[in-house]
Amino acid sequence: MKRVQLPASNPTLKDGFVPPLSRRALFKAAGAIALLQAIPAWARKGAGAPFSFSSVPLSEQADTVVVPPGYRWRVMAAWGDRLDGSGAGMPGNASHSAAEQAALFGMHHDGCALFTAADLPDRGLWVTNHEYLDDGLLHRDGTAGWSAEKVAKAQAAVGVSVCHVQKRAEGGWVVVPGPLARRVTATTPCGVSGPAAGHALLQTAADPTGERILGTFANCAMGVTPWGTYLTCEENFDRYFYKSGKPSAAEARIGLDDKGLFRWHEHDTRFDAGNNPDEFHRFGWVVEVDPHDVNAPPVKRTALGRFKHESATVKLARDGRVVVYSGDDQKGEYIYKFVSRDLYDARLKVGRAHWGRLLDEGTLHVARIRDDGVWYGDGEWVPLVWGQNGLTPEKGFADQAAVLVHARMAADAVGATPMDRPEWIAAHPSSGEVYVSLTNNSERGKKVAVNGANPRPNNAMGHILRILEQDNDAGATSFRWSVFVNAGDPEAKAPEHRGNVNGDWFGSPDGLWFDPRGILWTQTDVSADKLGQGPYARMTNNMMFACDTETGEFRRFLIGPKGCEITGVAMSPDLRTLFINIQHPGESPTERLDPARPTAISSWPDPAFGRPRSASICIWREDGAEVGV
Ligand code: FEO
Ligand code: CA
Ligand code: CA
Ligand code: CA
């Protein structure tokens, strides 16, 4: 394959910067532990050394989870399970009520994280998002007799779940009872902070203060802060709203239409944007959840901008400012980076000392990539600051809140670079490299011109972009970039679908996460209407790969059940357990199953249950050694 050589300034381990975190802060979140462990663990593996596991063969596509020989897996928390680990709280025919659903794990698990304490490494808090809904599966008779009760049940099945988990002797983890277990749903009271808090654009008849929002939903990928909180992202929130007639330019820019896919507006006027235009502005944010305080309301951090957020990957700048990378997952949308004004101070206690400080004051930037016609080039992070770069009242931006609420339009105005659907963003644990999965874009070359960083027209297979921050510093205002890999099947009929993957081929990369050793875990989300067809003829199930970014090798680690996507990934502090989410097993091409035949495509994980269920699973080695190496 053609390997891209970065310039000589490509960082090496000796350039690695380990941020000044206190031990207490460090051990608060497993994600933050990565920062300390990065160098020794990587050294053990040895840069460029081959993975020790054997690749799962492509032929192993079945209605189950397949892992390499010597590995085991088990379901930890499935849709409808009780939060105390006592098993399913819903029947297999999904006849449970909205009130019952509100106390159970939601559906369609996505981003996730494990939080552990230093002195209790085998216990922790498991936090997982619930991204969206299949109403054919959620209700016993699907959408028949659509009612307020069905809307309430849908609103109870989205959001975030927090539960306690514990390692068992054999290596797997299970959900256990504990005081911090809770559900955050589409009706949970949330706070709002940052420049748009209380602004007229966020004020509604039900909340004239503009500071108290009911719920979060469309929660896709995520981030973990060094102070031990969880960032959940609101992605395709527009699909829950409805507006009859023509939306305004700003509403249309972020997807409001008269389809009302989830039909919430029919029984909850909050979602009728014709009557409640500002409720629509109260979603599309990054929301901070403190899993260590069951009474703490989630807070929408408006300084990070409003768009279809996928991932909120946190890194510390060289000087200690907090950096949050976020993609906007839609065809031709942008990559953003927030940089805090203040420094992360490891001497402060974790949690509330930082709560409401670092993510409320700072600058949101958008990536502008210089398309100079070469394979790698330059880029800059353009600040989205009111009064600068044409973001003025004359151009329709009355103040900074307007810039943030209408972040896409602000990014348009400063000439941001349209990308092929930015999904997850992974920051290398010790270098300044940042990897962005660009899942696919059928409109590239049609509605959106090809550019250097999005080089393939009708990009059906997707690619991964590598960003190298200037001076290896996440706080930099400029960067260099290269296309790390063009995904594809080397045996595909069309040359543009073959890609240049070194090792096991894949398409539609979505989940992307560096473990503390620098292994880039890559997960696919080929949509149900594309699996097994066209360029995906040889791929009927979604998969997960380990990638060594030194050699560029991708190796197939896992194949999921029928009709699922693989998304979300975390590890235990000892790196001996890997956690992922299996989202929407059995999904049909319409994304809505026939309630009379819910197991038509998949009955995973339990054929006797009666319905397929999304689930968090854990994976470990029979010999108890580290996963992946
Ligand atoms: Fe929710 Fe962009 O995946
Ligand atoms: Ca995704
Ligand atoms: Ca996706
Ligand atoms: Ca999906």
- Say if 272 falls within a structural domain: no
- Where in 82-158 does DSSP place strands (E)? 109-117, 120-130
Q: Which ligand is nearest to the CA of 524?
A: 3
Number of residues assigned to the chain: 629
CB 433 within 8 A of CB 468: yes
Q: What span, in angstroms and rounded, lies between the C-alpha atoms of 39 and 621?
A: 23
- Where in 476-542 does DSSP place strands (E)? 478-486, 502-503, 509-514, 519-524
First-residue to last-residue Cα distance in the chain: 24
Q: What is the DSSP letter of 99?
A: H
Residue of 314, 161, 162, 293 lying closest to 231 (CA atoms): 314
Per-residue pLDDT, 238: 98
Distance (Å) from CA 389 to ligand 1 centroid: 30
Distance (Å) from CA 525 to ligand 3 centroid: 5
CB 589 within 8 A of CB 577: no
Q: Is 251 in the pocket of ligand 1 (CB under 6 A)?
A: no
Range of the domain at 559: 23-235+284-621
Tell me the chain's radius of gyration from C-alpha atoms: 22
CA 486 to chain centre: 21
Per-residue pLDDT, 373: 52
Q: What span, in angstroms and rounded, lies between the C-alpha atoms of 528 and 566?
A: 12
Per-residue pLDDT, 376: 56
CA 439 to chain centre: 12
Number of the ligand 1 atom closest to the C-alpha atom of 439: 2
Burial 42-62 (b: 16+ CB within 10 A, else e): beebeeeeebebeebebeebe
**pLDDT > 50? residue 3:** no
- Say if 393 falls within a structural domain: yes
Q: Is 566 in the pocket of ligand 1 (CB under 6 A)?
A: no
pLDDT range class, residue 47, cuts 50, 70, 90: low
Angle at 510 between CA 509 and CA 513, to 5 degrees: 105
Q: Is 235 in the pocket of ligand 1 (CB under 6 A)?
A: yes
Per-residue pLDDT, 468: 95
**pLDDT > 50? residue 36:** no
- Where in 131-207 does DSSP place strands (E)? 159-167, 173-176, 182-184, 189-193
Per-residue pLDDT, 357: 81
Q: Is 328 in the pocket of ligand 1 (CB under 6 A)?
A: no
Supply 568's token pair: 């979300």
- pTM for this model (two decimals): 0.92
**pLDDT > 90? residue 328:** yes
- Say if 266 falls within a structural domain: no
Q: How many domains does the chain have?
A: 1
Taking CA atoms only, the protein residue closest to ligand 1 atom 1 is: 220
Q: Which ligand is nearest to the CA of 512?
A: 2
pLDDT range class, residue 350, cuts 50, 70, 90: low
Residue 582's CATH number: 2.120.10.30
Residue 153: burial class (beta carbons within 10 Å; 0-12, 13-18, 19+)? buried
Q: How do 71-78 and 615-621 pair as beta strands?
A: antiparallel
Q: Is 272 in the pocket of ligand 1 (CB under 6 A)?
A: no
Neighbours of 341 (CB within 10 A): 13
Distance (Å) from CA 169 to ligand 4 centroid: 34
Distance (Å) from CA 369 to ligand 2 centroid: 23
Number of the ligand 1 atom closest to the C-alpha atom of 110: 1
Q: Is 423 in the pocket of ligand 1 (CB under 6 A)?
A: yes
**pLDDT > 80? residue 614:** yes
CB 307 within 8 A of CB 286: no
pLDDT range class, residue 8, cuts 50, 70, 90: very low
Percent of residues, the chain, with pLDDT higher than 90: 87
Q: What span, in angstroms and rounded, lies between the C-alpha atoms of 105 and 126?
A: 12
Type of residue at 21: L
The whole-number average pLDDT for the span 579-587 is: 98
Q: Which ligand is nearest to the CA of 131?
A: 1
Indicate the helix (H) or strand (E) that contains 40. Answer: helix 30-45
CB 404 within 8 A of CB 194: yes
- Say if 14 falls within a structural domain: no
Q: Is 329 in the pocket of ligand 1 (CB under 6 A)?
A: yes
Per-residue pLDDT, 349: 56
**pLDDT > 60? residue 603:** yes
Number of the ligand 1 atom closest to the C-alpha atom of 327: 2
Supply 95's token pair: 């006849």
Q: What span, in angstroms and rounded, lies between the C-alpha atoms of 496 and 460?
A: 9
Percent of residues, the chain, with pLDDT higher than 70: 90
Per-residue pLDDT, 628: 95
Q: What are the two backbone dihedrals, phi and then psi, of residue 408, each rounded to the nearest 5 degrees? A: -60, -40
Distance (Å) from CA 424 to ligand 1 centroid: 8
The whole-number average pLDDT for the span 74-89 is: 98
Supply 374's token pair: 């070469």
Q: Is 207 in the pocket of ligand 1 (CB under 6 A)?
A: no
Return the HEC string of 528-560. Answer: CCCCCCHHHCCCCCCEEEEEECCCCEEEEEEEC
What average pLDDT does the structure give for the chain? 91
Per-residue pLDDT, 518: 96
| pLDDT tens readout for residues 465-481 | 999 999 999 999 999 99
The whole-number average pLDDT for the span 355-383 is: 85
Per-residue pLDDT, 345: 83
Q: What span, in angstroms and rounded, lies between the C-alpha atoms of 136 and 587?
A: 10
Number of the ligand 1 atom closest to the C-alpha atom of 423: 2
Indicate the helix (H) or strand (E) that contains 324. Answer: strand 321-328
- Say if 593 falls within a structural domain: yes
Number of the ligand 1 atom closest to the C-alpha atom of 221: 1
Residues with CB under 5 A from ligand 2 (ion): 423, 510
Distances from the Cα of 268 to the Cα of 145, 238, 388, angstroms: 16, 15, 40
**pLDDT > 80? residue 82:** yes
- Say if 560 falls within a structural domain: yes
CB 174 within 8 A of CB 85: yes
| pLDDT tens readout for residues 275-314 | 999 999 999 999 999 999 999 999 999 999 999 999 999 9
Number of the ligand 1 atom closest to the C-alpha atom of 236: 1
What's the half-sphere exposure (Cβ side, CA atoms, 13 Å) at 148?
Answer: 4
Distance (Å) from CA 268 to ligand 3 centroid: 28
Per-residue pLDDT, 352: 61
- Say if 240 falls within a structural domain: no
- The residue behind tokens 């940052």 is 194
Number of the ligand 1 atom closest to the C-alpha atom of 567: 3
Number of the ligand 1 atom closest to the C-alpha atom of 525: 3
Q: What are the two backbone dihedrals, phi and then psi, of residue 230, each rounded to the nearest 5 degrees? A: -115, 135
Q: How do 553-559 and 502-503 pair as beta strands?
A: parallel
| pLDDT tens readout for residues 513-562 | 999 999 999 999 999 999 999 999 999 999 999 999 999 999 999 999 99
**pLDDT > 90? residue 567:** yes
Q: Is 131 in the pocket of ligand 1 (CB under 6 A)?
A: yes
Q: Is 220 in the pocket of ligand 1 (CB under 6 A)?
A: yes
Q: Which ligand is nearest to the CA of 329?
A: 1
The whole-number average pLDDT for the span 21-27 is: 29
| pLDDT tens readout for residues 436-453 | 999 999 999 999 899 989
Number of the ligand 1 atom closest to the C-alpha atom of 235: 1
- Say if 275 falls within a structural domain: no
Residue of 328, 348, 347 lying closest to 337 (CA atoms): 328
Q: Which ligand is nearest to the CA of 527?
A: 4
Distance (Å) from CA 220 to ligand 1 centroid: 6
Q: What is the DSSP letter of 610?
A: S
